[in-house]
């Protein structure tokens, strides 16, 4: 079992195995506070991993701590796998955005809007930052005392972030959310998957640059005469392994929808795409 990584006396990261997209194999759970604890993203569906988290929280409770909140960033299955059961076990309310609450199969007790704050103890406070794009109700949780932000699936320490319009993904909103988190000036990012990101601004700028460059490749493919999804995929994602083109096609769709919304691309009735 993974050992807690103590980022600060009141901020612990523990990765627990989840059925997430490779190459990631786990989702990070964050435990914030010293006496009043918030558990962010308890996601594992596996009994042994759940038992390990239970044991850790029981140990903290035996030392005088109380679990006062369970928070989730968004509705995807590898982010909510233990939220309801853990909340029931500790009689703690579940917090999430209203758009997430509408997409999960368990009750959310407290809906959070942008800027809402959850005060814990010893100066530890979690502030919700509304960051849609990967998912409609995606929230980043910024811990105000340390500046550490739990970034959810806005960025990844391993693997990549999928923007899937069929599941509410929105490339334009995603790019705006990356920039918005940058303006919050976090000191470190805890992604849902992978290690802590110690250089947040560089990471966020790299993500924005990558998506802009990919958009440039989509436009180049259109300029070269590609008009249908298979041709555009081959042109814009020729640097991507073919075995994951089925995922790349979803991101391509997100880029095209963004360009449509900006009036730079038109989708014809027969499914072809043309530059305007």
Q: Write the pLDDT tens digit of every residue in 40-71.
A: 999 999 999 999 999 999 999 999 999 999 99
**Are 39 and 50 in contact, with CB atoms under 8 Å apart?**
no
| Percentage of the chain modeled with pLDDT above 90 | 97
CA distance 102 to 104: 6
**Range 210-220 average pLDDT:** 98
User: What was the pLDDT predicted at 3?
Assistant: 87
User: What was the pLDDT predicted at 2?
Assistant: 78
Q: Write the pLDDT tens digit of every residue in 216-229.
A: 999 999 999 999 99
With a cut of 70, say whether residue 250 has pLDDT above it.
Answer: yes
Compute the residue count for the chain.
Answer: 276
**Are 49 and 1 in contact, with CB atoms under 8 Å apart?**
yes
With a cut of 80, say whether residue 1 has pLDDT above it.
Answer: no
Give the architecture (CATH level 2) of 5-198. 4-Layer Sandwich (3.60)
User: What was the pLDDT predicted at 230?
Assistant: 96
With a cut of 80, say whether residue 18 has pLDDT above it.
Answer: yes
**Range 127-134 average pLDDT:** 98
**Are 194 and 157 in contact, with CB atoms under 8 Å apart?**
yes
What's the start-to-end Cα distance of the chain, in Å? Answer: 55
Q: Tokens in use for 56?
A: 């850790």
Q: Tokens in use for 67?
A: 């679990």
Q: DSSP of 190-251, one letter per residue? A: EESSSS-BS-HHHHHHHHHHHHHHHHHHHHHHHHTT--SHHHHHHHHSTTS-GGGHHHHHHH
Average confidence score pLDDT of the chain: 97
Upstream peptide bond of 23 is cis (omega within 30 degrees of 0): yes
Q: Write the pLDDT tens digit of every residue in 147-156.
A: 999 999 999 9
- What residue spans define the domains of the chain? 5-198, 210-275
User: What was the pLDDT predicted at 79?
Assistant: 98
User: What was the pLDDT predicted at 82?
Assistant: 98
With a cut of 90, say whether residue 204 has pLDDT above it.
Answer: yes
CA distance 136 to 131: 8
Contacts of 121 (CB under 8 A, 6+ apart): 33, 34, 35, 36
Cβ atoms within 10 Å of 229's Cβ, excluding its own: 15
**Range 249-276 average pLDDT:** 97
User: What was the pLDDT predicted at 38?
Assistant: 98
| Percentage of the chain modeled with pLDDT above 70 | 100
Q: Write the pLDDT tens digit of every residue in 165-198.
A: 999 999 999 999 999 999 999 999 999 999 999 9
CA distance 216 to 61: 52
CATH topology of domain 210-275: Arc Repressor Mutant, subunit A (1.10.10)
Burial zone of 231 (CB within 10 Å; 0-12 exposed, 13-18 middle, 19+ buried): middle
């Amino acid at each position: 079992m993974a050992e807690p990584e103590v980022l600060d006396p009141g901020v612990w990261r523990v990765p627990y195995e989840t059925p997430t997209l490779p190459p990631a194999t786990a989702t990070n759970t964050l435990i914030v506070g010293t006496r009043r604890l918030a558990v962010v993203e308890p996601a594992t569906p596996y009994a042994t991993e759940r038992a390990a988290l239970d044991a850790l929280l029981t140990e903290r409770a035996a030392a005088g701590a109380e679990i006062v909140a369970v928070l989730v960033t968004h509705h995807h299955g590898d982010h909510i796998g233990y939220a309801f059961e853990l909340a029931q076990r500790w009689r703690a309310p579940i917090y999430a955005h209203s758009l997430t609450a509408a997409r999960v199969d368990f009750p959310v007790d407290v809906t959070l809007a942008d800027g809402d704050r959850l005060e814990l103890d010893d100066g530890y406070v979690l502030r919700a930052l509304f960051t849609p794009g990967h998912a409609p109700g995606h929230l980043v949780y910024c811990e105000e005392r340390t500046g550490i932000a739990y970034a959810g699936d806005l960025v990844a320490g391993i693997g990549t972030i999928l923007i899937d319009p069929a599941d509410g993904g929105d490339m334009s909103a995603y790019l705006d959310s990356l920039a918005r988190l940058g303006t919050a000036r976090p000191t470190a990012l805890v992604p849902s998957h992978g290690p802590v990101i110690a250089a947040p601004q560089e990471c966020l700028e790299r993500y924005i640059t990558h998506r802009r460059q990919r958009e440039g490749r989509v436009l180049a493919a259109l300029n070269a005469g590609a008009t249908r999804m298979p041709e555009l995929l081959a042109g814009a994602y020729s640097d991507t392994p073919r075995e994951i083109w089925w995922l790349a096609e979803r991101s391509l769709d997100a880029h095209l929808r963004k360009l449509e919304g900006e009036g730079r691309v038109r989708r014809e009735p027969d499914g072809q795409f043309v530059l305007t």
